[in-house]
Chains A and B, each alone.
Chain A
Amino acid sequence: DADVTQTPRNRITKTGKRIMLECSQTKGHDRMYWYRQDPGLGLRLIYYSFDVKDINKGEISDGYSVSRQAQAKFSLSLESAIPNQTALYFCATSDRSSGREKLFFGSGTQLSVL
């Protein structure tokens, strides 16, 4: 969805490096999420935020941190990247007014940790 923009689209980094993935949205949604997708597996939630200053851990938050700088921006950081963090990462948004978690996804960031 072009309304949810992730940068970069691809990134190759080395073990131990700090890396940040950015997400911005123009949908005006208050809720934002970071998911990880591994081959053959479903999407797993890393962190989510229901508003600026609200940060919540998801299913697999270890090794990750996030920052909700503004309603439209939600960044994901890997403080010290490791090879098993190689995956496809998705940012998503949802609208509280929908009453349900109807998510809108970005196009993803393919991260490779060597």
Chain B
Amino acid sequence: GESVGLHLPTLSVQEGDNSIINCAYSNSASDYFIWYKQESGKGPQFIIDIRSNMDKRQGQRVTVLLNKTVKHLSLQIAATQPGDSAVYFCAENRDAGNMLTFGGGTRLMVKP
């Protein structure tokens, strides 16, 4: 079936470096995407979203890139900090009212 998935289950980066977390989706009808951050012992927290009529959106230290041609989504974190250590999930949605479909998650580890 169509699903959302992630290329890398674990990503280790040096503090201060930029991080890139990738996500592939297979549902070409998906038109809304969200990145969530889940810290240990907590529920997922919304980071940033993007609609399919955009290919880039920036937040505070984070950028989401959407490539609809290859059905690829990425989350870029600038100047990664220890507090960025968490599991990151992408989620996709098609049509208002449909449920989000979540990927399996990527663990980001920040080395001091």
Q: Which residues on A are within 8 Å of B, measured CB to CB?
A: 1, 4, 40-45, 48, 58, 90, 92, 99-108
Interface residues on B, range: 20 to 34
Residues of B within 8 A of A40 (CB): 9, 104-105
Instruction: Tell me if B49 and A102 are in contact (CB < 8 A).
Output: yes
Which residues does chain B contribute within 8 Å of A42, judged by CB atoms?
Answer: 4, 89, 102-105
- A1-B34 contact, Cβ under 8 Å, with A42-B89, A101-B93, A101-B99: no
Q: Secondary structure at chain B's binding surface: helix, strand, loop or mixed?
A: loop
Q: How many A-B residue pairs have CB under 8 A?
A: 50
Q: B residues bordering A, Cβ < 8 Å? A: 4, 9, 32, 34, 41-46, 49, 89, 93, 96, 98-100, 102-105
Task: Please tell me if the beta carbons of B46 and A103 are within 8 angstroms of each other in the complex.
Answer: yes
Alpha-carbon separation in the docked complex, A92 to B38 (Å): 14
Cβ B102 vs Cβ A100 within 8 A: no
Question: Which of these, B9, B98, B103, contacts A101 with CB under 8 Å?
Answer: B98
Residue of A with least CB distance to B51: A100
Lowest 6 CB-CB distances: which A-B pairs, in order? Answer: A105-B43, A42-B102, A43-B102, A42-B104, A101-B100, A105-B44
Distance from B35 Cβ to chain A, minimum over Cβ atoms (Å): 12
Q: Which residue of B lies closest to A56 (CB)?
A: B99
Task: Select the residue from B41, B98, B102, B104 with max chain A CB neighbours within 10 A.
Answer: B102
Chain A residues lying within 8 Å of B9, measured Cβ to Cβ, are 40
Report yes or no: A1 in contact with B99, Cβ–Cβ below 8 A: no
B43 touches which of A41, A58, A90 (Cβ 8 Å):
A90
- Which chain B positions have C-beta within 8 A of A100? 32, 49, 93, 96
Complex Cα spacing A43 to B9, Å: 15
- Bound state CA distance, A44 and B105, in angstroms? 12
